[in-house]
Structure 1
Amino acid sequence: MTITLQDMEVIMGVPVDGLPVVGCTSPTVNWRYVCGTLLGHRPPERELGRNKNTGVMEGPRVKAKWLEDRFSNPLSIDAPKELVQKYAWFYIVEMLGGTLFMDNSRERISIRYLQFFDPISNGKKYSWGSAALSWLYRYLYKASEKTAK
């Protein structure tokens, strides 16, 4: 028995038709800028002399706790449209980075998926089910390696 693309569509409720989810992999992308522009919160620079995992941001991955703290206050009824959109982007990042495309760090979520939601209506154009299924297969393969923990 295996998980299929139809399972992703029926069980997870994500679309399997649409454009492939192929993102920017360039090391020159300024993910702090992307985070600051779309979410309204720019992660601080890494402190010099600190361990690798102490920085808030590592590549396109942000500490989930830091990001959640920025969006912990509920929106007011008369919140401006721009703020509502930032909260929507945060929710999308939480769902995609924390559920469909979760990795083994348990403390970081990727903001790389924001590039598919600018503008926010673009997200429905992509095949999120096939991307999530390939992600799942990749991590199942990694988990089956002899050195996996």
Structure 2
Amino acid sequence: MRLDDRYVPYLQMAGLYHLARLNDRWFRLDEALVSAFVERWRPETHTFHMPFGECTITLQDVAYQLGLPVDGRYVSGCLSEFQIYIQGGRPAWVWFQELLGVIPPPSQVQKYAVNCSWFQETFGECLEGADEETVRRYARAYIMMLLGTQLFADKSGNRIHIRWLLYVARLEEMGTYSWGSAALAWLYRCMC
């Protein structure tokens, strides 16, 4: 999805603007480099064994390189009974429609994750002259894509879990969370 200038205030509020700019301009996957690091990863020490010694990814690295906040409230999401309860007893998909204005067709959903292709087709470009509520919905979708594909991707790499609704519902509060800590914890979880 293209970074629209109208999303910038929401991304700044969420503490994710720097990451969005990196994603929009500089992130290119170097598969050979990733493979080399995977081969050198040692889960027992949480380090990469390189020819020059051991190295690891620290919270300072995440904060500096990705520009994510590392102080603040913890990012968490209990998924028990997720399908029937989320925020005030509303079913998750009802809340999805309230926040994003549309529900994906069943063919685009796997359990509680929506295909990225649906997000891109539905929210790929916000029309010029859109009202503020529409821009806000598109910004929420953009942030969900950013979280689900850049920071907290699943193994498929092409689905966005709806657990992020809890955070995008209150864009004004997103900047109070420690996204850097959560991203580092997720990275270690995926690597071990």
Instruction: Flag whether TM exceeds 0.5 (same fold).
Output: yes
Alpha-carbon deviation of 1:56?
1.6
Q: Does 2:57 match 1:3?
A: yes
Runs of 4+ in 1 over 6 A off after TM superposition: none
Q: Does 2:179 match 1:128?
A: yes
- Mapped to 2, the partners of 1:8 and 1:73 lie a distance apart of 29
Equivalent residue letter for 2:178: S
- Mapped to 2, the partners of 1:60 and 1:15 lie a distance apart of 27
Alpha-carbon deviation of 1:135?
0.5
- Mapped to 2, the partners of 1:101 and 1:24 lie a distance apart of 15
In the other structure, the counterpart of 2:68 is: 14
Q: Comparing 113-122 with 7-16, which one deviates more in the overlay?
A: 113-122
Root mean square deviation of aligned Cα: 1.5
Which runs of 5 or more residues in structure 1 are unaligned?
46-54, 142-149
Deviation string, structure 1 residues 69-114 (Cα, Å, up to 9, x no partner) = 11134321x2111100001101101111110001111221123122
In the other structure, the counterpart of 2:155 is: 104
- Mapped to 1, the partners of 2:119 and 2:57 lie a distance apart of 31
- Mapped to 2, the partners of 1:122 and 1:60 lie a distance apart of 23
The SS at the match of 1:79 is coil
The count of aligned residue pairs is: 131
- Mapped to 1, the partners of 2:76 and 2:66 lie a distance apart of 20
In the other structure, the counterpart of 1:39 is: 100
- Give runs of aligned pairs for residues 62-141 of structure 1, distance below 5 A: 62-76=114-128, 78-141=129-192
Which runs of 5 or more residues in structure 2 are unaligned?
1-54, 86-90
